[in-house]
Amino acid sequence: MMFKVDDTFVANFIVSEEIYNGFVVLFKDKNPLHTNRQFATENGFKSEVMHGNILNGFLSYFIGECLPIKNVIIHSQEIQFKNAVYLNDKLEFNAKVTGIYESVKAVEFKYDFKNADGKIVAKGKIQIGLLE
């Protein structure tokens, strides 16, 4: 098995205007929490809150591009949103191998995203399968 329990991976992401605008255009999610500053601030946020599913895109990038192998598929993923993410936030992504299941060729990671203040904005786990 290419992975070992406690292997760690780190990546950095920026929630850029290009990513934000692309998400809105592609998925047409124009909920005012994400697109209207006044609505967002009236509801206790400092600005428009970025779509949580942008982080799922970063997870896909991690699995598809950051791992040392490409013959993988996502079996399942779980994400818990803990704090708001704003435009141009710099996020540090940390993932750690927490389980290896050789009989079914699967690897599980626990991960989190932290903002520049070190606050966890999301965390969860993702299980991948190793293709033949």
Cα gap 5→70, rounded to integer Å = 19
Give domain status of residue 1, yes or no: no
- Structural domain span for residue 51: 8-130
pLDDT for residue 67: 95
Give domain status of residue 2, yes or no: no
pTM, entire model: 0.94
pLDDT in tens, 69-96: 999 999 999 999 999 999 999 999 999 9
Give domain status of residue 35, yes or no: yes
The CATH number of residue 72's host domain is 3.10.129.10
Give domain status of residue 51, yes or no: yes
Q: Does position 132 have pLDDT exceeding 90, yes or no?
A: no
Q: How many domains does the chain have?
A: 1
Give domain status of residue 15, yes or no: yes
Name the nearest CA neighbour of 4 among 132, 111, 105, 107: 107
- The DSSP letter of residue 51 is P
